[in-house]
A and B are shown apart, each in its own frame.
Chain A
Amino acid sequence: MREFEYLRVNTVKEACSLLSEHKEEAKILAGGQSLLTLLKMNILSPSYLIDIKFIPELNYMDFDDKDGLRMGALTNHRTVEKSPLLKEKFPVLPETELVVASVQTRNWGTIGGTLVHADPIGDMAPPLIVLDSRVKLVSSGGERTIPLTELFVDFFMTVIEEDEILHEIQIPPLPPRTGVAYQKFSTIEAGIKIAGAAVLVKLEDGVCKDAKIALSAVASVPMRSIGAEGILKGKPINDKLIEQAAQMASTEADPVTDMHATDEYRRELVKVLVRRATKMALERAKAAKS
């Protein structure tokens, strides 16, 4: 690890002020569960490391029936996994956490950190995307809130400006008769993922009123599969329709070949995972309260 100046801050204001002073020479450290690996490999070598991990005002979770959930960026993975509130309101999130990295990493890593790291293999982005999440970014100059899908630009790249930090994740309340599921495939359960798919299905009078599909590890960003969503929307969902949607998602995916899997294999897995997640989301939508 190269040398840097370590700056621990206790408020968002301090963090933003240091960022606007040091700009691209600074990096934000939260849990560091991805960042430290990059620092150790000298892939990144910032002159200043601004440690926000212990800012109390970035660690919270509130829910109300009208606006839904607001979650501070420093909420750690283990908190999401164990939260009785999330188990009740958005059970797909604690469920997904069980397959995020390892207990040790979940204990220290943060939900905000995993999103801004923008590794397309990240597990939390797809379920958050199908839940219509938005993220609040703040800087000394003000704040803006954007849909989570618009955060990601390319492998490890986001729209976050060099003087901005991710402050909050917002999730609207889950509509009635809606089910959400996430499926992933990796060689060991918490290992490097080959592909992942989150699906949301909303039913009305037996018809799929809304569908959202988000894929991970099969493109340079966590991606929506708009074509596949279109196949499900407005129709009663049956096995044949699910098969068509899965096929479309597989076509829309844009995976790369790496040491873990070939692009063809990843496409094949997208088909399987979208099929499984859609079936599971459908069952959950049927069981959900109206």
Chain B
Amino acid sequence: MERKLIKVRVNGEPHELWIKPNITLVDLLRNELGLTGTKIGCISNSCGACTVIMDGMAIKSCSILAMQADGKEVLTVEGLAQDGTLHPLQQSFIDHAAFQCGFCTPGKLMSAKALLDENSNPTEEELRRDMEGNLCRCTGYVKYIEAIMDIAQHPGKYSAKEG
């Protein structure tokens, strides 16, 4: 199959890649760029483990053709920490023990970041509704809500740690 050239920025780094058109964005991130933080769960647009942020929007990278990321800016979980310091959401997830096996965590972090970027002060109801696209098989549906709400309600709490 004829390979096609795409240009995409991932976590601020520009990439030019010749790819087969029949791969999805998550394949590109994991197999072409080695960014395995983004997980593959259901591969059918349900579980949200593959959530990344593209041009400011949370999307499921298993359900977008890599070709559609041409010219786009993608942020994955690897791009959250800055200069060795965890992103406030990551720190809050740790402080609240907001995961068990951790498989859904990268997707949850990315959904939470997109949500807070758009609405820094969501109600718990809005938060629960907007996080519905991220499933967890370890019954972890309480702690991560507390972790995100903590950030939303105390915007200064973690920014100090960001330096």
Contact = CB atoms under 8 A, between A and B. Distances in A.
Interface of A: 1-6, 8, 29, 32-33, 36-37, 39-40, 49, 51, 53, 78, 98, 101-105, 107-108, 188-190
Contact of A36 (B24, B51, B111, B130): B24
B68 A107 contact: no
Interface string B74-111: 00000000000000000000000000000000000001
Nearest to A36: B63
Of all A-B residue pairs in the complex, the 3 with the closest CB atoms, nearest first, are A102-B133, A6-B21, A107-B57
B64 A1 contact: no
A206 to B, nearest CB: 36
Interface in B133-147: 133-134
24 contacts: A4-B21, A5-B21, A6-B65, A32-B64, A33-B45, A36-B24, A36-B63, A36-B65, A37-B45, A40-B24, A49-B65, A51-B68, A101-B45, A101-B133, A102-B60, A102-B133, A103-B132, A103-B133, A104-B48, A104-B133, A105-B63, A108-B57, A108-B63, A188-B132
A214 to B, nearest CB: 24
Contact of A40 (B43, B57, B67): B43
Given A4-B21, A6-B21, A108 B64 contact: yes
Contacts of B51: 104
The number of chain B residues touching the other chain, given as a range, is: 20 to 34
B68 A104 contact: no
B23 interface: yes
Given A3-B1, A98-B129, A189-B132, A104 B22 contact: no
Given A36-B63, A104-B133, 18 more contacts: A1-B22, A1-B24, A37-B45, A37-B63, A51-B67, A53-B68, A101-B45, A102-B48, A102-B132, A104-B51, A105-B45, A105-B133, A107-B57, A108-B59, A108-B60, A108-B63, A189-B132, A190-B132
B161 interface: no
A3 B23 CA distance: 9
Interface in B1-45: 1-2, 4, 20-24, 43-45
A37 B42 CA distance: 10
A29 B21 CA distance: 13
B75 to A, nearest CB: 14
A188 B48 CA distance: 15
Contacts of B48: 102, 104
A129 to B, nearest CB: 25
A8 B65 contact: no
B151 interface: no
A36 B44 CA distance: 8
Contacts of A103: 58, 111, 114-115, 130, 132-133
Contacts of B24: 1, 36, 40
A169 B159 CA distance: 45
A202 B54 CA distance: 43
B116 to A, nearest CB: 13
B133 A4 contact: no
Contacts of B63: 32-33, 36-37, 105, 108
A39 B63 CA distance: 10
A185 B9 CA distance: 40
B58 A104 contact: yes
Nearest to A49: B21
A6 B83 CA distance: 39
A129 B51 CA distance: 32
B44 A40 contact: yes
B58 A107 contact: yes
B129 A189 contact: yes
A2 B68 contact: no
A107 B115 CA distance: 12
A87 to B, nearest CB: 16
| Of A2, A32, A39, most B-chain CB atoms within 10 Å | A32
Contacts of A3: 1, 20, 22
B22 A4 contact: yes
B155 to A, nearest CB: 21
Contacts of A51: 65, 67-68
A32 B68 contact: yes
